[in-house]
Amino acid sequence: MLTILNKEFNAFLNSAVAYVVLGVFLVATGLFVWVFPDSSVLDYGFADLQTLFSLAPWLFLFLIPAITMRTFAEEKKAGTIELLLTRPLTDGQIIGGKYLACLLLALLALVPTLLYYFSVYRLGSPPGNIDSAATVGSYLGLALLAAVFAAIGVLASALTRDQIIAFLVAVVGCFLLYSGFDSLASVLDGSAAYYVGQLGIAAHYRDLSKGLIDSRDVVYFLSVVAVALQATRLVLRSRTW
């Protein structure tokens, strides 16, 4: 699996995909957090990074599928999938290596944003006047969100040989799981609305963003990842290409 991980991650770094994804993510978050007056933390009057944590899921919704769309679709189109599957590796190792490479690149995009936290920490009045627990929870939520989106993206790529179709399927799948259940819950009442909302990502992400790191939320994210990767394994086993 480490061989596949290393190969895939180096392939990303040797292509424009990694730099486009990192560039778009950092430029967009930088403009919204520091420049645009309606969302700038400098004009907001409060020492927090709510703008970053509200915007990042929507950026990930498009950027992570752009990372994952080539994982299996490119192999199928190039005719190298058969060669890959005849190597002395299990389907799980192949999927795990490709998945972790995509996730690692997505998490790499978050690392420079730590400078935002330290900047706001120092700019607070008094310095340090920022809810660090909520910030840690939000970063954990974003990491888990990236893990889910990457798993859905890898599954979408395994379903087709066309990278554009893989991208679109992944975007739609991520959107429905992130926002679809919330939209459905908004038209329901009472306990039904609550339970339907809990099926989606947004409710669990909001809880983590408050600094409430509940094991149930973590288990939810990891369960979705496990289901998506197992579905990818079943697709590869079907050998339908």
Per residue in 175-211, pLDDT tens? 999 988 888 888 887 788 888 888 899 989 988 888 7
* pLDDT on residue 21: 86
Number of domains into which the chain is organized: 1
Nearest-angstrom CA–CA distance, 131 and 49? 9
Nearest-angstrom CA–CA distance, 146 and 123? 29
Nearest-angstrom CA–CA distance, 79 and 73? 10
Domain that holds residue 63: 2-238
Higher pLDDT, 76 or 98: 98
Q: Is the pTM of this model over 0.85?
A: yes
Q: Read off the pLDDT of residues 139-156 as tens digits, 9 standing for 90 and up.
A: 999 999 999 999 999 999
Q: How confident is the model at residue 103 (pLDDT cuts 50, 70, 90)?
A: very high
Q: How far is CA 155 from the centre of its chain?
A: 14
Percent of the chain with pLDDT strictly greater than 90: 45
The closest of 200, 199, 100 to 153, measured between CA atoms, is: 100
